Amino acid sequence: MAAAAGGGCCGVLYSFLFEYDTPRIVLIKSRKVGLMNRLVQLAILAYVIGWVFVWEKGYQETDSVVSSVTTKVKGLAVTNTSELGLRIWDVADYVIPPQGENAVFIMTNLIITLNQTQSSCPELPDKTTTCSSDSDCTAGYIGTHSNGIQTGKCVVYRGRSKTCEIFGWCPVEDDETVPNPAFLKDAENFTLLVKNNIWYPKFNFTKRNILPTINSTYLKSCKYHPQTDRFCPIFRLRTMTDAAGQDFQEMAVQGGVMGLQINWDCDLDKPYSRCVPKYSFRRIDNKDSSHTVSPGYNFRFAKYYQTAEGVDSRTLIKAYGIRFDIMVFGQAGKFNIIPTMINIGSGLALFGVATVLCDIIVLYFMKKRYYYREKKYKYVEDYELGNSTSYGSQEESPQDRDVR
């Protein structure tokens, strides 16, 4: 028994060391199956070469852009109103704040309330502030939209109606009517200089949108145009809104948010000069003519001062305007052997799909599927249940002879 067991172990070890198993290959002479196999292989080859390597540049290693943006606005506007008189508006007046992070706000319209002081005055009339007597007003009451705290008195508002008196910054702001056309309608001719520096750390590649071919003389006179001058970094406001399909004068009344997109998709296998920015524009805030609740973009700020009598005063401004968000994105690629070999290996592995697909059709869908299945598979009975024969002395089956 021990000897038999020893012989069995030696046979297994012998088989493991000195025998080689290989998949059985059956050559099927069928025009339909052969043509389908070549078409699938051709489609896989076209995908690997056309899509993976040519379109997606699968032979390259990629990196995402890191960037910084600074802006500078230039332009003057002139207004002449009964409230303010003749006035010049320059950058210090309409750019708020002077420096922003990847964004710049340019005021195009405003509601101004001059010479406010902390005192008592009538509140703006609405359904919660109109009154007929003092009993309709509650001393100390502050509503969500109140301009101050109620004193408990009912007073005349501009000779038209009565409202509850408040203590706050008086006279109160009346923002019911927005100037139309926009107060600073000449803002369409203002210009925005965008300076953008980019860096691809993986490749130690740096560049900026003021290209080496641009000199100071050219920079003083150029204006961006998508057809005639697409590399000038100075943008006229009207040009940007037109490129986004928007009417500047309409947008200037209520304000809005514009996106200036800078795309730096660069193939670093090509010369340095081929890596250039591409500019595009779109309106970001939702402009839907059927939805007019709280449109545009606005905010309030005040300028404080003291009168000659030492009274604290301020000028309140509700500013409407266009905020330009500057968004930089991009990807750089450069040849690297590792992604190249990975994609080649993946492409070769895909060729196995053709074999699997043809096997499925041959073995399950063709009329002679049972015949092909008999040729492809060799069925072997359990050795212990079959006839005992010496190792390696089995006769060749009819199926083997047929395949040969």
Q: What is the Cα–Cα distance from 258 to 236, expressed in whole angstroms?
A: 13
The mean per-residue pLDDT over the stretch 136-155 comes to 89
Is 390 a residue whose pLDDT tops 50?
no
pLDDT for the residue numbered 255: 93
pLDDT for 281-311, tens place per residue? 999 987 765 566 778 899 999 999 988 888 8
Q: Is residue 183 included in any domain, yes or no?
A: yes
307 and 216 both lie in a single domain: yes
Q: How many CB atoms lie within 10 A of CB 223?
A: 12
Is 169 a residue whose pLDDT tops 50?
yes
246 and 322 both lie in a single domain: yes
Q: Would you say how long the chain is, in residues?
A: 404
Q: How many CB atoms lie within 10 A of CB 294?
A: 8
Is 384 a residue whose pLDDT tops 60?
no
Q: What is the Cα–Cα distance from 254 to 317, expressed in whole angstroms?
A: 14
Residue 267 token pair: 């193939």
Q: Do 328 and 103 meet the contact criterion of CB atoms below 8 Å apart?
A: no
285 and 243 both lie in a single domain: yes
288 and 348 both lie in a single domain: no
Q: Is residue 32 included in any domain, yes or no?
A: yes
DSSP string, 268-320: TTS-GGG---EEEEEE-S---TT--SS-S-EEEEEEEEE-TT--EEEEEEEEE
296 and 324 both lie in a single domain: yes
190 and 88 both lie in a single domain: yes
176 and 55 both lie in a single domain: no
Q: What is the Cα–Cα distance from 145 to 176, expressed in whole angstroms?
A: 13
Query: Residue 95's beta-bridge partner residues?
Result: 106
Q: Is residue 205 included in any domain, yes or no?
A: yes
pLDDT for 216-267, tens place per residue? 889 988 999 988 899 999 999 999 999 999 999 999 999 999 999 999 999 9
- Strand, coil or helix: what is 256? strand
CATH of the domain at 262: 2.60.490.10
Domain boundary (281, 300, 334) is at 334
pLDDT for the residue numbered 7: 62
Q: Is residue 159 included in any domain, yes or no?
A: no
Mean pLDDT of the chain: 85
Is 399 a residue whose pLDDT tops 50?
no
pLDDT for the residue numbered 401: 45
Q: Is residue 133 included in any domain, yes or no?
A: no
Q: Is residue 373 included in any domain, yes or no?
A: yes
363 and 253 both lie in a single domain: no
Is 4 a residue whose pLDDT tops 90?
no
From residue 287, give the alpha-carbon distance in Å to each of 107, 188, 318: 19, 19, 21
289 and 260 both lie in a single domain: yes
292 and 309 both lie in a single domain: yes
pLDDT level of residue 334 (50, 70, 90 thresholds): very high
Total domains in the fold of the chain: 2
pLDDT level of residue 12 (50, 70, 90 thresholds): confident
Q: Side-chain half-sphere of 141: how many Cα atoms within 13 Å?
A: 15
pLDDT level of residue 82 (50, 70, 90 thresholds): confident
Q: Is residue 48 included in any domain, yes or no?
A: yes
Q: Do 277 and 231 meet the contact criterion of CB atoms below 8 Å apart?
A: yes
342 and 221 both lie in a single domain: no
pLDDT for 175-197, tens place per residue? 888 888 999 999 999 999 999 99
| Burial profile 260-271: b = 16 or more Cβ within 10 angstroms, e = fewer | bebbbebebeee
Q: Is residue 192 included in any domain, yes or no?
A: yes
281 and 315 both lie in a single domain: yes
Q: What is the Cα–Cα distance from 112 to 319, expressed in whole angstroms?
A: 8
CATH of the domain at 33: 1.10.287.940
Domain boundary (299, 334, 369) is at 334
Q: What is the Cα–Cα distance from 188 to 341, expressed in whole angstroms?
A: 54
Q: Tokens 């195009």 sit at which residue?
A: 108
Residue range(s) defining the domain that contains residue 351 = 28-59+336-378
